Structure 1
């Protein structure tokens, strides 16, 4: 989840730069965002529940199967698990992108960057982004 959010942040920052060459930029503490944004926690909880439910259902469907039948069931559930993970990632990406764009617009920032990638400067907008993530 952490790698996903960091990657999304970089992609969003690049997008934000194209929306105006303002010298002002913001920074976001991704560690704090991951720890405090309610949507991250609820998405992780939802993902864990869905994955556990899939595992229970797969175990049920595997009963009495072996060989090719078992392999087909496992492949089926692997595809379902990937879809569930993709949906969770898309939900977080959408929320983060929307929050970053809103904060950048409200504060007239040319970009919002990951705080770890900025040696100095920038306006910390972490709390604003957390508040906007839905």
Structure 2
């Protein structure tokens, strides 16, 4: 008799546990975002590209000024240092942009009460596309020359 109660209790707990596990995913609201589109259309990305181009031009001009005044070995070292400077600058700007995008995605996700946001390429079907909302939010705080025209 005790064994039968144990089996019934164990079975009831398993049914409850199965119900809990099955219900876990059903209340999640999943958002998707197209990061490539954000990079192409956001003013922040356009501004960062302009900064990178300006930095590259600055370094190229600097190298052109010292090219005839240094030995070949010194100029090679100067080129290597300039390349490293540009790489560090690019990494810093990339990190800055990534943090900016993530904070805007989190903000939009909170507004839309989404529990999960994934890259649209990682999701086969479904999800709420928040790409345009993220771009709009990013562009609110970042005036670009093209947006002001």
Q: Same-fold call, TM > 0.5?
A: yes
- Equivalent residue pairs, number: 114
Q: 2:28 aligns with which of 12, 23, 29?
A: 23
Q: Which runs of 5+ in 1 are unaligned?
A: 1-20
Separation (CA, whole Å) in 2 of partners of 1:36 and 1:113: 19
Q: Determine if the alignment matches structure 1 residue 102 to structure 2 residue 127.
A: no
Q: Which runs of 5+ in 2 are unaligned?
A: 1-24, 142-149
1:50 correspondence with 2:55: yes
Shift of 1:34: 2.1
Give yes or no for contact 1:30–1:114 (8 Å, CA) kept in 2.
yes
Task: Tell me, in whole angstroms, the C-alpha distance in 1 between the residues paired with 2:72 and 2:59.
Answer: 20
Q: Secondary structure at the match of 1:27?
A: strand
Computing the radius of gyration from Cα coordinates, the structure with the larger value is: 2
Q: Is the CA contact 1:62–1:73 (under 8 Å) kept in the aligned structure 2?
A: no
Question: What RMSD over aligned residues (CA atoms) do the two structures have, in Å?
Answer: 1.7
Relative distance call for 1:66 and 1:79 in structure 2 (3 A) is same
Q: Which moved more, 1:65-74 or 1:112-121?
A: 65-74
CA deviation after TM superposition for structure 1 residue 90, in Å: 1.8
TM-score (norm 2): 0.69
Q: Is the 8 A contact 1:27 1:113 kept in 2?
A: yes
